[in-house]
Structure 1
Amino acid sequence: MQSFKEDFSLAAGSYLLNHSVGRPLKDAEQAFSQQFFAPWKASGVEPWQEWLTVIDQFTMSLAKLFNGSAEEFCPQVNLSSALTKLVMSLPQLAHDKAVVLMSELDFPSMGFALQKALPDSCELRFIPKELDITEADVWQSYINVDIDLVFVSHVYSNTGQQAPLADIVDVAKSKNVLTLIDVAQSAGIVPLDLAALQPDFMIGSSVKWLCGGPGAAYLWVSPQHIEGCQPKDVGWFSHENPFEFDIHNFRYHPTALKFWGGTPSIAPYAIAAHSIGYFAEMGSHKLREHNQWLIDVIAEQFETELVSPRLEAKRSGTLILDFGGKQQQVLAALLRADVSVDLRSEGIRVSPHIYNDMADVERLLSVIKECR
């Protein structure tokens, strides 16, 4: 089996914390220098023309990874900002009794953003955290005709569960409900084909499995909605022609870039575009296959401690283990052994990537067995 360790900057030990940051490519610094610093340092001319090609590379890499079109993606500084901009742009949420549905298991920041972005008269409705959000029937029972938008995390960070996206999108379409998919925890590790799924909107980041670092989030808008969206948080790069410089005449950009805003950051996208391009070339299916193979090896050793789903179709790229009263002891032993994992409310989270191998898993298992 091919090893990818040589492509990444890996410290001593076993890094199994890929749901958090991921490891950078070894040539990331060189790519960053070439795309960001070189145009700035190499001549006395304006570097923006070359810098903006970085954004083109970023959106084209995302399009390849998710099987979409580059003009449907817009760079964003983070998911909360992307969500706020989107929600405030939708005429479907402007009426007094608009209802947005999400799960109590969603990342809190998404709930915070929705609470502040929605008009006061709107309702934010929750699927209780006790319900199994891997089951399509749960979603179907909550997606009613009075719902205007359903917010769905592709996978849930604290439980390792995967939402049944295809079923959710299908039932939402049948009831004329908009769908917004959050792929922050799944991008790269759980395949998602936008052309096949056909949701309405998607938000994501580059910081975790895509190993692209913070500051390079993105918003995807279905082509059927681009024209109808009316962003309020705009700037000169939201303009049809940013360099027209007519303060009396604002026209939305005809693509998803209408959500871009003011003078853009370039540096985060130079790193992320390079990394996403690497994984897009490899393909999410290959990443998923390797990840699930290693997860299976670990899961087989822990019949009673396994918290995350056992069925592959229902689980994310993260395995969650609960050792009860020995939780802190196990975590401390793993950290002393340079096995990088973390602890959340449901248990210890373990996330193997393409550069992890059986040696990393055996190291993890050895430490845990000593504690038991």
Structure 2
Amino acid sequence: MKKHSTQYKNYKKDFILTNANYLLNHSVGRPLKDTETIFTNKFFEPWSSSLDEPWNQWLPVIDHFTNELAQLFNAKKEEFCPQINLSSGLTKILQSFEENQNKKMVVLMSEVDFPGMGFVLQKALPIHSKIRFIPSNEDVTDYTVWEKYLTDEIDMVFISHAYSNTGQLSPIDNVLSLARSKNILSILDVAQSVGIVPINLEALEPDFMIGSSVKWLCGGPGSAYLWVNSKRLPYCKPRDVGWFSHENPFEFDIHDFRYKDTAMRFWGGTPSIAPYVIAAHSINYFNQIGIKKIRQHNQMLIEKVSGEFDVEFVSPREEAKRGGTMILDFKNNQERILSRLKENNISVDVRSQGIRISPHIYNDEADMSHLIEVIKTTKF
């Protein structure tokens, strides 16, 4: 793999890193240094200084947000709708299947999916629907596993692109292609992959997608989104609506509701603006760099660590099967190593599979060398 270029070091200066070796990007990405200024100019200043209501200055923020998403995912801006979080977006999608409300749907997902997504499916699907799980001991990076479980009985499949607790990356190209061939609805969850793995929605063609900005996109909480394939949109009749779901929000005729002809029919009532000021700015920043470049940098840093810990490196070795997170498992020495990492201002966390480590564009080889040195000098 290519040697690290000094140009990557320049990205550190753009982020607030508080003198820490921050490797928790699978959880919350770090803010850009100019975020506060952007927030003041785009949100607080219109609110505090204008003698008129600030909506004419606030609402363009949403256009900026959806425009940046369209560039990020190679999709149409009209196919995106802001959401407060993934659970809200998934609930709205599931409740929009008007033709399926009385159908006993069979839905496939994995036991290693984020539990919150399973909770939504259990409560928001039509009554008497059934969820089938790919067992946690199956390898979700292997297409033949999906092929085995994606039978003709399945009505809908929920697919996580990346799994933060295992570092795995699912083969979404092939899984989505198989789902289309069987007329199975697909919902793609990109929360753990967006911003670190290139995603081309025009090529992938899921029916729906949900994602957020809080992790690799460094956009903070509250700036999630859903995406609806244009071919699927005419059949979506959201039930959780509000005046901004209306074709003309300012018509104000209580007797006449008409859905917007875009994914914004999923929007709802008076919108939140503040989170999208931050997220639109940070997504623009990463769009300028390019996700492919960020991915190459991330994988190079992971390779540097994987070469030092053969047995302990439990996330996938193959880059095509690995997300942006590596997992190291030190068994009985885990707590001691975690304590030493914390003492040395190295920010990581731990789950059932081991210690989670996620380097971003603002991390460099020196950060990885620091991590390796602290671990290796810890007496087991």
TM-score by length of 2: 0.97
Which position in structure 2 is the counterpart of 1:355?
362
**Cα deviations across residues 320-368 of structure 1 (Å, max 9, x unaligned)?**
0000000111111101100000000100000000000011101100110
8 Å Cα contact 2:102/2:127 also seen in 1:
no
**Cα deviations across residues 298-340 of structure 1 (Å, max 9, x unaligned)?**
0011110111100000000000000000011111110110000
Which position in structure 2 is the counterpart of 1:281?
288
User: 1:119: Cα distance to partner?
Assistant: 1.9
User: 1:92: Cα distance to partner?
Assistant: 5.3
Q: Partners in 2 of 1:230 and 1:290 — Cα distance? A: 42
Cα–Cα, structure 1 residues 170 and 322, in superposed 2: closer, same or farther, change >3 Å?
Answer: same
Q: State the Cα RMSD in Å.
A: 0.9
Which position in structure 1 is the counterpart of 2:157?
150
Which position in structure 2 is the counterpart of 1:212?
219
Of 328, 331, 336, the match for 1:329: 336
Alignment partner of 1:303 is 2:286:
no
Of 150, 159, 167, the match for 2:174: 167
Which position in structure 2 is the counterpart of 1:267?
274
Equivalent position SS for 1:349: strand
Quick one: which amino acid aligns to residue 91 of structure 1? E
Q: Partners in 2 of 1:159 and 1:55 — Cα distance? A: 34
1:101-250 → structure 2 map (5 Å cutoff) = 101-250=108-257
Quick one: which amino acid aligns to residue 271 of structure 1? I
User: 1:213: Cα distance to partner?
Assistant: 0.2
Of 36, 42, 59, the match for 2:43: 36
Equivalent position SS for 1:262: coil
**Cα deviations across residues 192-251 of structure 1 (Å, max 9, x unaligned)?**
000111111100000000000000000000001111100000000000011110000000
Q: Which runs of 4+ in 1 moved over 6 A?
A: none
Of 13, 27, 30, the match for 1:6: 13
8 Å Cα contact 1:15/1:341 also seen in 2:
yes
8 Å Cα contact 2:104/2:127 also seen in 1:
no
Quick one: which amino acid aligns to residue 234 of structure 1? V
8 Å Cα contact 1:92/1:98 also seen in 2:
no
User: 1:106: Cα distance to partner?
Assistant: 0.3
Matched residues, percent identical?
60
8 Å Cα contact 1:55/1:269 also seen in 2:
yes
User: 1:93: Cα distance to partner?
Assistant: 3.5
User: 1:50: Cα distance to partner?
Assistant: 1.1
User: 1:370: Cα distance to partner?
Assistant: 1.0
User: 1:281: Cα distance to partner?
Assistant: 1.7
Q: Partners in 1 of 2:66 and 2:366 — Cα distance? A: 36
Gaps of 5+ in 2: 1-5
**Cα deviations across residues 66-87 of structure 1 (Å, max 9, x unaligned)?**
1011110000000001000000
8 Å Cα contact 1:87/1:93 also seen in 2:
no
Equivalent position SS for 1:102: strand
Size of the aligned set, in residue pairs, is 372
Equivalent position SS for 2:95: helix
8 Å Cα contact 1:19/1:185 also seen in 2:
yes
User: 1:43: Cα distance to partner?
Assistant: 1.8
